Chain A
């Protein structure tokens, strides 16, 4: 497959070359990570993400060894696309961009240091309490590439469970994305994706999703300091998902969410209407029913005042809890970027690299959602 490489051209590098393992495929990387006798290393998680990334674009490479230059090349194209120099391209889209365009937003999740710390935080947990005597289940909302669900899967296997394909449920509404990630996850024997809308209760009812779920990934947050809901078109269904789940699930309080806590900065406009709680900052623990009820009460107040319809447009995410730390969304994964402070880590920083949760100069996530 990779025979026809042009020689003599040096590809620019996206990461420090010594960290990339050329001898393992995606499947064997997952197997290694889920072996509980081994310790988790950042390098292996890095390999997981990077190989998943190439798989997601190219497809059908789950059990193949991917050469390093291939990864660098994919990265280069992604970077070129992110620059969005339309005036150079002219009317025709370069051939290499065509597979990237419909999945661009999901790629920003796959290629970035913040994903590394997310996956690490999920993997390093252990399943407590083997499951309230139930079958273990995970639910990933708006799964996108599905990397979170892979992390859940690894977490189970590390804590001694042998999960089957039925136990993990992932829902994604975008068809292009759902088809791709479905193909990968089916091949890896992890599971299958449902193409559906997670913000509605009817979805869960009619799909007959079990009412007891242990892990829930709801990481549908926009960039730092941009609202959940803009100009009557939905940006991220973070709150709507949680509301739907609250109606449907039996065990909301027991199940563990990712992120466990999210803090929102509330716009002053809305704050003026909130009589009992006029905090500039509002934090949401999706586990805890009280915090949800508080939000509903706030929204009710807003509606009664007659000015606003949705609370979502006034909430701007600011901090999330990752492992034991509260981290600003802009700073998640910064420790893995090479800079003057930490010269020894993996990712070379680039201004045009699409990153999750950061409103870069290009505004990638906003325009491509």
Chain B
């Protein structure tokens, strides 16, 4: 186990603030959030996700690095021997193999900083009078974007609102639920995000103030694998349009704001007509066997990236002596927005 690697650059990490204190800081609209603080929050959230209940404890840098390194180590083993779940494996190993897909988001700290920053700084107008404001996150996973939504809502001055995430994976749901109850700031629904039944409890709200649905495969990786749906990006929108009014789904503020898809040699930018486009895709999926549609790029923080794999590039380290990069690079992990390959930088 190589414990000398550190996830953040040493000058970035701040020991003084706990996770909860950081969140409270972020919720203040007059507080200017630095990128390094977002990196801090994500790293602390990661620690909290692996060992819940630590949102009010002060974590030293070595604590964080230890967890990152250990999980790195187990992930490496998992990939090498493709081990199956056994009862006598260490606890961390079991958790990582269960939550692998959800943790991929948190492991990929560099690109999560960009997404987090995008969501936090969106502006939401209050134009509903006497109605509920509703923040929705499809495919919550680790719940980091749900947290971003909460902060965004508070920064926009909303005091009472509904912040809901939907998660299908049982293990991830239970774990995220624990953190939910600890921080006490949002709801979780256990269910399939592209079935209408899941939305029963929120159907009456009839409004979406902010929608984040980043159910995307890495760029140029197809959304469908034969009959199997890898990521239900389009199915989600079809279901949402039936539960809520299609006009609401199309026009609400969302993350990602714009996505481009590759179909054969053509490229489509899907904005703002998400519902119509996804209806077409879902219809054609039934009739055509090989619909090779894959995401390619999306807009984050006002910039359109033609490749999802490029989103992280502002925050990773190329040369460790450059002081403006935040996150050091761990090559062996599964990454959210890049194809998982064995090559290193």
Name A residues whose Cβ lies closer than 8 Å to a Cβ of B: 91-93, 101-102, 173-179, 182, 192-197, 206-208, 233-234, 368
Contact = CB atoms under 8 A, between A and B. Distances in A.
B271 A195 contact: no
Contacts of A234: 246
Interface stretch (B5-13, B138-146, B247-255, B325-333): B247-255
Contacts of B272: 101-102, 176
Contact of A197 (B245, B260, B269): B245
Contacts of A194: 127-129
Given A101-B271, A208-B130, 19 more contacts: A91-B267, A174-B251, A175-B127, A175-B252, A175-B253, A176-B272, A178-B127, A179-B127, A182-B127, A192-B127, A194-B127, A195-B207, A197-B206, A197-B248, A207-B130, A233-B246, A233-B276, A234-B246, A368-B273
Contacts of A182: 125, 127
A194 B129 CA distance: 7
Interface in B294-345: 304, 306
Contact of B251 (A102, A193, A233): A102
A235 to B, nearest CB: 11
A364 to B, nearest CB: 13
A178 B209 CA distance: 13
Interface of A is mostly: mixed
Nearest to A181: B127
Interface in B111-128: 125, 127-128
A234 B248 CA distance: 13
Contacts of A174: 247, 250-251
A101 to B, nearest CB: 6
Given A102-B272, A197-B206, A233-B246, A179 B125 contact: yes
A234 B207 CA distance: 18
A144 to B, nearest CB: 12
B260 A177 contact: no
B131 interface: yes
Contacts of A173: 245, 247-248, 251
A175 B251 contact: yes
Nearest to B123: A179
B239 to A, nearest CB: 14
10 contacts: A174-B251, A175-B248, A175-B252, A175-B253, A195-B127, A195-B207, A197-B206, A197-B245, A197-B248, A234-B246
Interface of B: 125, 127-131, 206-207, 245-248, 250-253, 260, 267, 269, 271-273, 276, 279, 304, 306
Contacts of B251: 102, 173-177
A195 B128 contact: yes
Nearest to A142: B247
Nearest to B125: A179
B243 to A, nearest CB: 13
Nearest to A180: B125
A192 B125 CA distance: 13
Contacts of A179: 125, 127
B107 to A, nearest CB: 30
Contacts of B279: 233
A195 B271 CA distance: 21
Contacts of A93: 269
A206 to B, nearest CB: 8
Contact of A207 (B129, B207, B252): B129
Nearest to A90: B267
Which 7 residue pairs of A and B lie closest in terms of their CB atoms, listed nearest first? A175-B251, A174-B251, A195-B127, A173-B247, A102-B272, A179-B125, A176-B251
Contacts of A206: 130-131
Contacts of B276: 233
B310 to A, nearest CB: 15
A339 B248 CA distance: 41
A91 B127 contact: no
Nearest to B271: A101
A92 to B, nearest CB: 8
Contacts of B247: 173-174
Nearest to B267: A91
Contacts of A101: 271-272
A95 to B, nearest CB: 11
Contacts of B250: 174
Given A102-B251, A234-B246, A91 B129 contact: no
Nearest to A193: B127
A194 B127 CA distance: 6
A192 B251 CA distance: 19
A200 to B, nearest CB: 8
A298 to B, nearest CB: 26
